[in-house]
Amino acid sequence: MKSQFHLELGMPHLGRNNLSESSLFKAIGNDRWKQIEIAGKVPTSLIQDDAGSRLYATFFFLEVHFAPDHPLSAHGENETMHFDTDLWHCRQVHLDGKHVLTGTPQHWIRSSNVFIYQERGPSKLSMSIPANMDFSEIPELDEQPDSLAMCRAARAEGRFFAPEPDDVDVYEGERVFHYTFDQDRDMNGAGLIYFANFISILDASERGVLADLPHQIPPSALDARSTWKRRVGYYGNAPATDSLRVFVKTRMRALPDAQHGRLLDLAFDYRIRRASDEKEIVVSSCRKVSPMKDGSPEAAWFSAMTGGA
């Protein structure tokens, strides 16, 4: 199933540095649900299995594939982003597709869904097959999307991306950030942590970890950081009464850049566990860039952290 999606960027879509990743996923997630509704010929609120359980096309995998010289912050206020989209299904359980920037096929966002119901609330989610949804307009994949295998591998490895050869650890090992839910902001209408809000939780975690270094990173570097590459695997959710422990590893390197001279390229690996039972519910890896002009506080911090590299 192919279609187009047009997103006019206004203040609700912007963060500290132009396009907000979480807001982008919210918009794309809403478009995916509209695609399901149109193709399936049933309102998403009425999708159910043969037992009558309400089903949600929950996201189990997300991927951002942009470039260091074209991160999400390349898109700003009053711009309209145009996407060419596709959607596939596998055995009426898994959905997969991309939102590709029109005219720049190397820049895209991929997302994968699975139909689930709440077996025992947010802590226990189970897969099922829609009984009242039409799949005839959604092409079928010959096999399961490879995003499933990537999620399994990432859960075993604790990351999606291997370090680059020139990466330098910002600190040794992992640091832990404790996150308490804002129940009026983080949860969705199903009583689950909204998939796009996990991105905001990861943002808060990396900011908290980096701001607590002995040699503090300049606030301007934190405010300007923008994602150009990410994968996220979702393995569960949590009730609003729970809290999270976010384990963060951070690396960095410098990249040449025609506009700024150099870019600070930060790499993060995250693992999120529920505090109540230590169940791991999210694994993600991400790379973000921030301008690093010669003589800037960012350049001085990078030099101090890397011994003048």
Q: Cα–Cα distance between 288 and 246 in angstroms, integer?
A: 18
What is the SS3 assignment for 214?
coil
pLDDT in the model for residue 186: 93
Q: What are phi and psi of 83, to 5 degrees?
A: -120, 140
With cut-offs at 50, 70 and 90, classify the pLDDT of residue 124: confident
pLDDT at 135 over 80: yes
Overall average pLDDT of the 266-274 stretch: 98
With contact defined as beta carbons under 8 Å apart, do 101 and 81 qualify? yes
Q: Cα–Cα distance between 300 and 293 in angstroms, integer?
A: 10
pLDDT in the model for residue 274: 96
In which element (H, E) is residue 197 found? helix 197-210
Virtual CA dihedral for 74, 151, 127, 131, nearest 10 degrees?
A: 60
With contact defined as beta carbons under 8 Å apart, do 87 and 5 qualify? no
Overall average pLDDT of the 250-266 stretch: 95
**Packed helices 197-210 and 21-40: angle between N→C axes, nearest 10 degrees:** 160
- Joined together, the tokens standing for residue 157 give 């490895």
10 Å Cβ neighbour count for 130? 20
Q: Tell me the domains of the chain and their CATH numbers.
A: 2-306 (3.10.129.10)
pTM for this prediction:
0.95
pLDDT at 309 over 60: no
With contact defined as beta carbons under 8 Å apart, do 23 and 106 qualify? no
pLDDT in the model for residue 120: 64
pLDDT in the model for residue 308: 65
pLDDT in the model for residue 118: 84
- Joined together, the tokens standing for residue 155 give 């859960």
With contact defined as beta carbons under 8 Å apart, do 264 and 298 qualify? yes
Cα atoms found within 13 Å of the Cα of residue 170, Cβ hemisphere only: 27
What is the SS3 assignment for 251?
strand
pLDDT digits (tens, 9 = 90+) for 143-169: 999 999 999 999 999 999 999 999 999
Overall average pLDDT of the 189-213 stretch: 94
Q: Cα–Cα distance between 220 and 303 in angstroms, integer?
A: 16
pLDDT at 122 over 80: no
10 Å Cβ neighbour count for 271? 20
Overall average pLDDT of the 30-43 stretch: 96
Class of residue 171 by CB neighbours under 10 A (exposed 0-12, middle 13-18, buried 19+): middle
pLDDT in the model for residue 190: 84
pLDDT at 110 over 70: yes
Query: How big is the CA angle at 247 (ends 242 and 249), to the nearest 5 degrees?
Result: 160
- Percent of residues, the chain, with pLDDT higher than 90: 90
pLDDT digits (tens, 9 = 90+) for 63-73: 999 999 999 99
With cut-offs at 50, 70 and 90, classify the pLDDT of residue 189: confident
pLDDT digits (tens, 9 = 90+) for 213-256: 988 899 999 999 999 999 999 999 999 999 999 999 999 999 99
